[in-house]
Amino acid sequence: GTNIFERYLKPLKLAALKVQASDDARDPRSLATKKKAEALVDAIDAAAPLFESDAMLMDSRFDRLGLDLLTIKQDIIEKYDLNRE
């Protein structure tokens, strides 16, 4: 419910919006965009308990969402050559 939104989804959504806005307004390799992208990776990591929970893993409707988030994370790590996994 609301707790899941506040704890996991809201920070994820806000971080994604900030990356998109920064990417639209600046050179994608700008330091400001990189910092926002790192914040998105942090938000994805923070939401991992939700997407790795038994309830989510057992519900095939969420398979694509988990895969997409992990792909976005890996894309950011590669694009900005971050030392993360």
Please state the rounded mean pLDDT for residues 53-61: 91
For 78-84, the CB contacts below 8 A with 24+ separation are 79/28, 79/37, 80/34, 80/37, 80/38, 82/38, 82/41, 84/41
Residue among 23, 27, 25 nearest 72 (CA): 23
Can you tell me which residue has the tokens 């419910």? 1
Question: What pLDDT does 28 receive?
Answer: 67
Read off the pLDDT band of 76 (50, 70, 90). Answer: very high
Q: Give this prediction's pTM.
A: 0.90
